[in-house]
Amino acid sequence: MRPVYMIAGGITKFAKASPRKDFRYMVKEAFDQAMADVPGLTLDMIDGSVASYFSDHFTRQLMAGIMVHDYLGLTPKPSKRIESGGATGGMCIQSAWEAVASGRMDVCAAFGFETMSHVNTWKGNEFIALASDTNFDYPVGGFYTGYYAMMVKRHMYEFGTTEEQLAAVSVKNHANALHNPYAQFPAELTIEDVLKSEMIADPLKRLDICVMSDGAAAVILASEEMARKLTDKPVRISGVGTGTDAMRMADRPSREVILLPHENAADYKGLKYPGVHSFRGGRTAAKEAYKMAGITNPLEELDFVELHDAFTSSEIQTYEDLGLCKYGEGGKFVESGAAGLGGKVPVNPSGGLLACGHPVGATGLMQGVFALWQLQGTIGQHFNGDDTLQIKNAKRGLIHSHAGTGTYITVSVMERGF
């Protein structure tokens, strides 16, 4: 495999609704921003694209990916559409990585979008719920807030996680977004604000849950030869991993914990794993990506993480899957400040899904764009001169996309420089 570099990225402002912009225009806006960062790159140098969007229902348009590819001026070059639930954006980046790593392409554009405002919120939740088993989970009230409420209830039972610890995630991520001009829901909150917000599915409240969005994002990946010609701020994708699990949680077997290099079996003696409290697919994706990137202790070797926090509970669960702390210690990890700006490993300095928003097909690409800018040291340049969220001297970061109840999960490690 050849080394693969992310050389540019762009993003639209995520919003509750963007009635003046259709999906093609939104992607073009993000794509043009990416192209502006590599002025030596021309359309004829791009060998193809990968499109990311979750649902045809939101656009009421089949073949939307090729329509964007055409709108960007990339026909008749190859393109394909990726769909894997909430992990669609992360899988899109990895598919583009594969195209370049294999030698099929030297430069590949990856773009994603969603226009969720085209339907009412209840209908949007129904569409999202179609990513569960429609013969089993869905008919018994299977909306995802219910699934995640059940999972965090079990996490609380097993490990003593508290509602205040969940709220701390929301406070942190919304506060980070105050400095992110692309975020949909920046807010200065207190723990009490979160605890008093409307109950949606006990114990998850409105401020524990991300919002639906319209938005688009794009990144450009290149071989080392092309990256050297086009940029002096390359970011290498040094590790990729993908994990899966059974669609129906009842089908997931009980096994021993999948160990990372810095862990011991004795740490988890007697723990029923993964149960419904943990994501085996997330741990599998992390282990694969860490092995490829040569990471033996993520807590010591990562400078930041952008992860899929569709719910405050899933951020806490993912700390554990990624090995930032032991299983059962995720609540204490956020409570200690370790995941905050200036903490041991800042998590979601962008604001994450909770505060940036979650236009599903764009979300994993949004993480890639913000991770790219962190590693290039250009957060201030792209955030209207505000560099509050810039992680000082960031050399290595991680992006994480998550689908369903952990059915597809991607982890990609990104590193500054050649």
pLDDT of residue 141: 66
Which letter, b or e, does each residue of 324-356 get, where b requires 16 or more Cβ atoms within 10 Å of its Cβ? Answer: bbbbbbbbbbbbeebbbbeebbbbbbbbbbbbb
Pairing of strands 4-11, 214-223: antiparallel
CB 108 within 8 A of CB 117: no
- The residues facing 8 across adjacent strands are 220
Residues of 70-89 as b/e, b for ≥16 C-beta within 10 angstroms?
Answer: ebbebeebebebbbbbbbbb
**Cβ neighbourhood burial of 301 (10 Å; 0-12, 13-18, 19+):** middle
In the DSSP assignment, the letter for residue 239 is E
H helix runs in 37-120, sequence order: 56-59, 64-71, 88-101
Q: Chain-centre distance of CA 309, in angstroms?
A: 8
The pLDDT value recorded for residue 140 is: 66
**3-class DSSP state of 385:** coil
H-only helix segments in 210-351: 224-230, 280-293, 298-301, 312-321, 330-335
DSSP summary character for residue 27: H
Ranges of the chain whose pLDDT falls below 50: none
Q: What are phi and psi of 411, to 5 degrees?
A: -135, 130
Residue with tokens 């979650």: 358
Helix (H) / strand (E) containing 413: strand 408-416
Please tell me the distance from the alpha carbon of residue 340 to that of residue 62, in angstroms, as a whole number: 41
Amino acid identity for residue 397 in this structure: G
Q: Residue 261: phi, psi to the nearest 5?
A: -55, -30
Interhelix angle 144-159/312-321, nearest 10 degrees: 60
CATH T-level assignment (fold) for domain 4-120: Peroxisomal Thiolase; Chain A, domain 1 (3.40.47)
Q: How many Å apart are CA 307 and CA 327, to the nearest integer?
A: 17
Burial of 67: CB neighbours in 10 Å, binned 0-12, 13-18, 19+: middle
For residue range 87-141, what is the model confidence (pLDDT) as tens digits? 999 999 999 999 999 999 999 999 999 999 888 887 887 888 888 888 877 676 6
**Closest among 263, 279, 366 to 316, alpha carbons compared:** 279
CA–CA separation, 184 and 180 (whole Å):
9
For the chain, the domains span 4-120
Per the listing, tokens 């994450």 go with 352
Spell out the residues 6+ positions from residue 371 whose beta carbon is closer than 8 angstroms to its own.
Answer: 235, 304, 306, 397, 398, 399, 414
